[in-house]
Amino acid sequence: MDDNSHCCDSHPGHECSVFCKTCDLPICRLCVSNEHKSHNLSELSEKIEEVSKSIAQENDRLKTLLDRTTKQLSSLTEFYKKANEDVSVREKDWLKQIEKFTKKLHQEMDDLKKEKGAKLQKQKGELEEMIGKIEEMNRKSATLKESKKLKEMMKFRSVISEQKMLKEYNNEFKIDENDLQTNFECTERLKEIKVSLVGKDYMLDDDSTEKILEVLFVSSALDTEAQIQKFLKGQIEEKKEGLMKRFLKKEIVISVFFILSMFSLFSLCCFFSHSEIATYFLDPLMGTGFEKNIPMVEQKFISDPDLGTKVLEVPSLSSVIDTRFPADMEYHSRLFDMALTDDRKVWVGGYNKVLKLFDLQGHLHRTVPITFTGLYICMYNKQVVFIHQNDKSVNKISDDDTVMTMFTTGDWRPYGITGSASGDLLVCLRKDDQSKVVRFNSNGTVLQEIQNDSESQPLYQHAWYIAENFNGDIIVTDVKKNILVAVDKQGMFLYTYPLRNDDFDVCSVATDSVGHVYVSDYKGHKIHMLDSKGRFLRYIIPEGGINYPRPICMIGDGEMIVGECLTGLAKRIKLLE
């Protein structure tokens, strides 16, 4: 030895060869026979090997942490590059759409100008004709007055009394600059909306104002012309019925002024691209003076502005799929998760180690053995993907029913999974008492981690099921907190639901194409329907009810499949008229 690192502190001339576990220090042979005689001892070489192994393990852990951090750092650039490219693509698309609808709007304005001009000319002719008749009557009246011929005067008076009053024409079009305000971010709301009702002014309350203005706000987030037209048409129907219920006792003339932001130019163009919408909104603005006769209609449906149609008060049950999964011995659970394919078939996962593919009429098409229960599944690139919790892996089933591992999640145990619009996978992960949501690409590269809020507090205690909304919001059910947690695509906290969860038993979650959020209430035997901001809209309980609902799978706007966990039945529920 070149140094004295192994020399005994009590006997400097002797080299340490023994380790005293009681005193936690190396000693020499003389120490063994003296003060350490009754202590717990071991060979020094064994202790050195043990400490070396511990250091090596810690070093490996640090290397793994370094590699993971380096990968995250490198993927960060890729993630934001992809986001910027997406923004650029959307910008170009929006500019094209704006140009397209602006041209269409100008054309419709020109057509309306011609149409209204023709009507005004006709009205002008009628007025001139009426004025001529009145002037002729005035002249005859003056002549009779001077003649003092009583019989002819009385006869002429009856002719005058039979003349009908000409209906009033009002073609004035005036916009007060105070009725409009500009806001690029679309965050300000209209302070008041005036409704002219038999010469009186009424104010709409805040809820009505917000619903009308939501047309402008939400349409700016929709991607396609078809979606926007569908959405706006529903808003018009709702606004008609809402005004009718509030004010309709007589015929009314409606005059509504909106706030239009620069950002909402696209929304305005979409309003005028639909003939019915153009008629409803342009007629008052063009000053035709025509009254709108809105009949009172018995309401049998609940108007839904986002779906653009009417929601059934009691949703109907159109079909039932019996998945025939066995029940587990402890909780008697059978059905855990579902995923819809592009050709409108549904994969189901249950207690045994198989995934089944049914059509919506309940016919079984495929049965694929897997190595774990079908707890959490989703569709990704037209293939079904499932979680293997024991292996901590994400797996997919190929077209020939081969199970392939896509990637593993390290020390973190995976739970709920969903595909995202950006082509990535969002996975709920848990380790010890920590929980997070991670965005992976198809190779398992970490693109994003969502774990804490802006104050570095944990967002989740136990992230369970997950869904992505149409605007990129990430919606997660937290089984430990018993709430729903929503963040935006950057991972910034948005809202939780409900504010009180005394009677709420959170389970699975799903979204539709217009932003509704659906969350299953397991012990409440119902589905909660929320808007895109997490505000409660209604309960969904179909004819015959649903028992212990767990997975939710949207078939389309206004139609869903809800899986009953304990019976194994998947019920197809229709929400719309």
pLDDT at residue 531, rounded to an integer: 94
pLDDT at 464 over 80: yes
Any idea what DSSP says for residue 458? B
Structural domains in the chain, sorted by start: 18-84 (3.30.160), 174-298 (no CATH), 310-334+412-576 (2.120.10.30)
Q: Is the pLDDT of residue 242 over 90?
A: no
Q: 525 — alpha (psi -120 to 50), left (phi > 0) or beta? A: left
Mean pLDDT of the chain: 77
Distance in angstroms (rounded) separating the CA atoms of residues 547 and 566? 8
* Share in percent of the chain as helix, strand, coil (round to 5): 30, 30, 40
| Sequence-distant (≥ 6) Cβ neighbours of residue 152 within 8 angstroms | 144
The tens digit of pLDDT for each residue in 331-389 reads: 899 999 999 999 999 999 999 999 999 999 999 999 999 999 999 999 999 999 999 99
Cα 316 to Cα 42, 300, 319, 503: the distances in Å are 76, 14, 9, 25
**Higher pLDDT among residues 478 and 6, named by residue:** 478
Rounded alpha-carbon distances, angstroms, from residue 328 to 355, 373, 565 = 16, 11, 11
Segment 173-200 shows an average pLDDT of 36
Closest of 342, 78, 371 to residue 357, by C-alpha:
342
| pLDDT of 93 over the 50 cut | yes
Is cis: bond before 315, omega within 30 of 0? no
> Is the sign of the CA dihedral 178, 183, 188, 189 positive or negative?
positive
Mean pLDDT of 282-309: 39
Q: What is the pLDDT of residue 539?
A: 93
Give the tens place of pLDDT for each residue, 417-456.
Answer: 999 999 999 999 999 999 999 999 999 999 999 999 989 9
The Cβ of residue 242 has, within 10 Å, a number of other Cβ atoms equal to 17
Q: Specify the residue for token string 């934001």.
A: 80
More confident residue, 225 or 465: 465
pLDDT tens-digit readout, 128-175: 888 888 888 888 777 877 777 777 777 777 766 666 554 444 444 443
Residue whose pair of structure tokens reads 């004025």 in the numeric block: 131
Judged by phi (left if over 0) then psi (alpha if -120 to 50, else beta), residue 45 lies in alpha
* Amino acid code (one letter) for 426: L
What long-range pairs does 501-508 form, CB within 8 A, spacing at least 24?
504/528, 506/464, 506/477, 506/478, 506/479, 506/482, 507/464, 507/465, 507/477, 507/549, 507/550, 508/337, 508/465, 508/477, 508/549, 508/550, 508/551, 508/552
Closest Cα partner for 408 from 434, 384, 430, 387?
387
Cα–Cα distance for residue pair 523/391, rounded to 1 Å: 31
pLDDT at 49 over 90: no
**In the prediction, which pLDDT does 411 show?**
95
485: β partners? 476, 496
Q: What is the pLDDT of residues 102-112, one digit of tens each?
A: 888 888 888 88
pLDDT at 278 over 50: no
Quote the tokens at residue 389.
């919790």
Mean pLDDT of 3-32: 81
- Model-level pTM? 0.52
